[in-house]
C-alpha cells in the first residue's frame, strides 16, 4: 500500500535554530500534503495544506513565516520550523493524499524538542 516516509523521527535542537522535517511519498504521487501538530494528550491540529507547485494554505493562527512549507515535487514536502522555541516542541505528522484521491496516508511523525 501507499507509504509516506517522514524524517527525522525525533530531533532535539537549541532555541533559535531551524529544523527541517521531510515527508516523502514512496510509491505514489502526492498531489496534496497536510501537516499536523499534536500536543500531548490532544488531537491532531491541521497546520497547513500544500499542493505541489503552489503556496501552502495555512490554518488560522498558524504563523506561515515560522512554519515554512515547501512542496516542490509530487513526492516530497518539507516543513521547516524557523527560529524554534521551547513552545514549538511537539509531535509533527504529515499526511499525503494520493493522486487518485482515494485516501490519506500518514507519516510516522517527528518528535521535536526545543531546549
Q: Which residues are near another protein by CB under 8 A?
A: 6, 32, 34, 41-44, 46, 49, 93, 95, 97, 103-109
Residue 43 or residue 54: which is nearer to another protein going by CB?
A: 43
Residue 8 or residue 16: which is nearer to another protein going by CB?
A: 8
Residue 81 or residue 93: which is nearer to another protein going by CB?
A: 93
The count of other CB atoms within 10 Å of the CB of residue 85 is: 11
Region of 53 on the Ramachandran plot (φ > 0 left; ψ -120 to 50 alpha; else beta): left
> Whole-number minimum distance, CB 106 to another protein, in Å?
4
Region of 93 on the Ramachandran plot (φ > 0 left; ψ -120 to 50 alpha; else beta): beta
Amino acid at each position: 500500500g501507499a507509504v509516506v516516509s517522514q524524517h527525522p523521527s525525533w530531533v532535539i535542537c537549541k532555541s533559535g535554530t531551524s529544523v527541517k522535517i521531510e515527508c516523502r511519498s514512496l510509491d505514489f504521487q502526492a498531489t496534496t500534503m497536510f501537516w499536523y501538530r499534536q500536543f500531548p494528550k490532544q488531537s491532531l491540529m491541521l497546520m497547513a495544506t500544500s499542493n505541489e507547485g503552489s503556496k501552502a494554505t495555512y490554518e488560522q493562527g498558524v504563523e506561515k513565516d515560522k512554519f515554512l512549507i515547501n512542496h516542490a515535487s509530487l513526492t516530497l514536502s518539507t516543513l521547516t520550523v524557523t527560529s524554534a522555541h521551547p513552545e514549538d516542541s511537539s509531535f509533527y505528522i504529515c499526511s499525503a493524499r494520493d493522486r487518485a484521491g482515494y485516501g490519506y496516508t500518514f507519516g510516522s511523525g517527528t518528535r521535536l524538542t526545543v531546549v
